[in-house]
Amino acid sequence: MIGYKTVFFRGKNGNGQSKARRAGKKSGMELAHDKFKFVRLFFVLAILAVLILLTGIIITLGPLNISVPDAYSALLARFWPEYFQVETLTSRVVWNIRFPRIVGGMMAGFGLGICGCVMQAVLKNPLASPFTLGITAGAQFGISIAAVAGFTLLGGPYFIVGNAFVFALLCSLFIIALAAIKGATSENLVLAGIAVNYFFTAISQLLKYFASDEQLRLMTNWGMGDLAAFSWANSRLLLVIFLICFPLLMSKSWDLNIMTAGDEAAKSIGVDAEKTRIFIMVITSLLVATIVCFMGTIAFVGLVAPHMARMVIGGDHRFLIPASGVLGALVLISADAVGMNLIAPTIIPTGIMTSIVGVPFFMYLMMKGKRKEFWT
C-alpha cells in the first residue's frame, strides 16, 4: 500500500493548492488517513495492555498459589522495594521460574512475528515464515550433527546452542546465495527456501536413523521447541540482537510498502527491490537463528501473527511490523501457558502447542478464499 500524505488540487488561481489548504485545513482524505493512523496506534497499544494483563494471569498458574496482585507486586518489588513487599518464596518463584519463561516467550514471539511479517512482504507470499523457508531446518540439522556425530563449531557450554545458531545462519545465507545466482526475486527465494528446507530436514531424519536413544531424545526435544531453555543469562544476547535488528527492519517499512506494488513500480520510485530483499533476509536470518538456538523450533507464530495484524490494521508496515511482533508475543505466551497447564503436571512442548493453535487459523485463512487485495 503506497500512501501519500499530501494531495494537491488545481484551484482557480492555478497554484496547485485548494482554498482549504490555503486556509490551513485538512482535506477529507487526510482526515481519514489521520483517523486510521489513530486506530492503528490504538490497536498496538491495546495489544500491549492485554499482554501486560496476561503476564500477571499466567504467573498465577502453577502449584504455588499466587494471586494476580501478588504477581505484579513481586515484579515491581525488584525496582521499588520500598513500595511493594511480597514473601521471599513468592518473589523467587516469580523471578526465577515463571517470569523468565514468559519473557522468553515474549521475545521469541515478537521476533518470529516481525520476521514473518517482513518475509511475507518482501517475498509477496502469504505462506512465507522462518519455519516454511527452512531457517529452522538448518538449526535442527546443527543440533542433529552435534548430537550424533559430535561435530561442533563452538565448544564449552555452547556445544549445542552454537551449532544451532551457526547452521541456521548458514542455511539462510545459502538460500540468499542460491537465489542471487538467478536474481533475488521473490519466486527464487521461495523456491530456494523450499529446497533447503527439504534437504536439511532429510539429512536430520537420516541422522535420527543412526542415533542412539539418548541422542534421539535430545534431537526430538529440541525439534519440539521449549521455552524452559530460556534463562536470564540468555536474555542479554537476545536483547542485544533485538536492539540491532528491530530498528533496521523498521527503517525499511516505507520500502516494504512500496514493494507491495511490485518490483518494477518500486524501481520507478527509487527502491532497489533486490537489495532490499537481501537486506531483509540477512537481518531476519540473524534474529531467527538467535531465537531458534536457545528455544528450539517454534512453528506457525511467524505465519499466523502477521495475518492477524494485517486483517485489523491493513498493510502499512510502519504499524504492521510492531503489531505483528506484539501479537506474536501474545500468541506464543498464551500457547505456552495452555501447554503447561492443560494436563499438568505434564508440560506439552511449546512448539507443539503453537502448531495446534496455528493450524485452525491457517485453515480458516485457506477456506476464506484468495484475496489478492489483502496484500496491497
pLDDT for 208-247, tens place per residue? 888 888 888 878 777 777 887 788 887 888 888 899 999 9
In the prediction, which pLDDT does 221 show? Answer: 76
- For range 44-49, the mean pLDDT: 90
Predicted confidence (pLDDT) per residue in 30-39, tens digit:
555 556 677 8
Tell whether 212 is covered by a domain.
yes
- Cell representation of residue 200: 536439511
More confident residue, 248 or 147: 248
- For range 21-44, the mean pLDDT: 64
- For range 331-352, the mean pLDDT: 86
In the prediction, which pLDDT does 154 show? Answer: 65
In the prediction, which pLDDT does 30 show? Answer: 55
**Band of pLDDT at residue 172, cut at 50, 70 and 90:** confident
In the prediction, which pLDDT does 332 show? Answer: 92
Lowest mean pLDDT among 15-19, 179-183, 349-353: 15-19
Lowest mean pLDDT among 7-16, 29-38, 306-315: 7-16
User: Which amino acid, residue 253?
Assistant: S
Separation between Cα atoms, residue 355 and residue 160, nearest integer Å:
24
Separation between Cα atoms, residue 82 and residue 67, nearest integer Å:
20
CATH of the domain at 345: 1.10.3470.10
What Å distances lie between residue 104 and 44, 60, 229, 233, 337, CA to CA? 20, 17, 9, 11, 13
- For range 162-181, the mean pLDDT: 77
Residue in 133, 159, 137 with CA at minimum distance from that of residue 207? 137
Tell whether 221 is covered by a domain.
yes
**Band of pLDDT at residue 80, cut at 50, 70 and 90:** confident
Separation between Cα atoms, residue 77 and residue 65, nearest integer Å:
18
Q: Structural domain of residue 302, as residue ranges?
A: 102-369
In the prediction, which pLDDT does 36 show? Answer: 65
**Band of pLDDT at residue 13, cut at 50, 70 and 90:** very low
pLDDT at 207 over 70: yes
In the prediction, which pLDDT does 249 show? Answer: 93
In the prediction, which pLDDT does 158 show? Answer: 62
Alpha carbons within 13 angstroms on the beta-carbon side of residue 375 total 20
Lowest mean pLDDT among 26-35, 268-277, 354-363: 26-35
Tell whether 55 is covered by a domain.
no
Residue 343 phi, psi dihedral angles, 5° rounding: -130, 45
- For range 128-132, the mean pLDDT: 76
**Band of pLDDT at residue 12, cut at 50, 70 and 90:** very low
Identify the burial level of 37 via C-beta atoms within 10 angstroms of its C-beta, where 0-12 means exposed, 13-18 middle and 19 or more buried: middle
DSSP type of residue 149: T
In total, how many domains does the chain have? 1
Tell whether 167 is covered by a domain.
yes
Tell whether 266 is covered by a domain.
yes
Please give the helix or strand (H or E) that residue 266 lies within, else none.
helix 263-269
**Band of pLDDT at residue 29, cut at 50, 70 and 90:** low
Cα-Cα-Cα-Cα torsion 38, 42, 43, 45, nearest 10 degrees, comes to 140
Predicted confidence (pLDDT) per residue in 226-235, tens digit:
887 788 887 8
Lowest mean pLDDT among 92-96, 179-183, 209-213: 179-183
**Band of pLDDT at residue 6, cut at 50, 70 and 90:** very low
Tell whether 96 is covered by a domain.
no
Beta bridge partners of 346: 343
Predicted confidence (pLDDT) per residue in 107-120, tens digit:
999 999 999 999 88
- For range 177-195, the mean pLDDT: 74
In the prediction, which pLDDT does 199 show? Answer: 87
Tell whether 88 is covered by a domain.
no
Tell whether 47 is covered by a domain.
no
pTM: 0.82
Contact status, residue 114 vs residue 321, Cβ threshold 8 Å: yes
In the prediction, which pLDDT does 14 show? Answer: 45
DSSP type of residue 229: G
